[in-house]
Amino acid sequence: MSTASDQFAALAQGEFAGCCAELYEQPAVSWLLDGQLHPGGKQLTLRAAQLAGVGAGSRVLDVASGAGTTALLLAEKLGAEVIGVEHGSEAVQRASTAAQAAGLDGAVSFQTGDARSLPLPDASVDAILCECSLCLFEDKATAIGEIARVLRPGASVVIADVTVGPGALPAPLQTAAARVACIADALALDGYEQLLRDAGLQLGHSESHRRAIAAMADRIEARLRAARIMRVPALEPFRGELDAAIELAQITQRAIADEIVGYALIAARRPS
């Protein structure tokens, strides 16, 4: 597997497909996020599942399932049958291993796939969650079209994602690093809503969770500052870049405080 530095170089040259998935598999990113890949953690995942109508026996698709945290949670806590689709092959392997270790491999399965061409039949799932991932997709409209295709009539999708606006993003939040941090390519709330409408879905409930993204940004900034004064093996290759990373984190904190950057849950339903 290529190093994180190689992947950032590829991102800077516009080679985004696959690079972001690999970056999230790196030990440095894993340590920095401390096991929480999106704002609000498990509590907000369960809230998204509630909005999507997930319950016992529901067949759920987790788009960009990562290491399987959401899929395992939905199976264990709600009794759902979950299919996780993830671009990164190593993440799929780790998720499958975790499901086996938890005794949930009968209820949860993972496969490598692309959100632009989901490996599922038409109208085959009861609910879909896509957490902090749509903002990373280069072709968001195609991904939403695929989500609409695999939803059963009457079923719901919940998008949980970073939002931007109404102010302009500061220049440092428009870089390749900010893309990986789910900011540079995020949309305004009405931008996500328009994508869902264009795919033929009916908008439902939306809610802001700015406090959740503020708490996540604060935690990341604190861990970066800690890494500057103590030895963190995963971050040693990036020691010379820590000051720049801390500055980026602080710019993000200010953008959140100024309500330029936020986080939202957006529910939509395929017409019956």
Please state the pTM of the whole predicted model. 0.89
The answer to whether 158 touches 129, Cβ cutoff 8 Å, is: yes
Q: What's 231's domain CATH number? A: 3.40.50.150
Indicate the pairing of strand 108-112 with strand 261-269. unpaired
Report the pLDDT value the prediction gives residue 164, as an integer from 0 to 100: 94
Report the pLDDT value the prediction gives residue 209, as an integer from 0 to 100: 97
Q: Is 67 helix (H, G, I), strand (E, B) or coil?
A: coil
- The dihedral formed by the CA atoms of 259, 174, 216 and 59, expressed in degrees to the nearest 10: 100
The answer to whether 98 touches 67, Cβ cutoff 8 Å, is: yes
Q: Is the preceding peptide bond at 166 cis, omega within 30 degrees of 0?
A: yes
For residues 117 and 250, what is the distance between their CA atoms, to the nearest angstrom? 37
Residue segments in the chain with a per-residue pLDDT below the cut of 50: 1-19
Report the pLDDT value the prediction gives residue 24, as an integer from 0 to 100: 63
- N-terminal to C-terminal alpha carbon distance within the chain: 45
What residue numbers bound the domain in which 259 lies? 4-269
- Residue 172 tokens read as 């440092």
Q: Domain count of the chain? A: 1
Report the pLDDT value the prediction gives residue 253, as an integer from 0 to 100: 96
Element (H, E) at 65: none
For residues 226 and 232, what is the distance between their CA atoms, to the nearest angstrom? 9
Report the pLDDT value the prediction gives residue 79, as an integer from 0 to 100: 98
Note the Cα 213 to chain centre separation in Å: 12
Report the pLDDT value the prediction gives residue 167, as an integer from 0 to 100: 74
pLDDT in tens, 127-150: 999 999 999 898 999 999 999 999
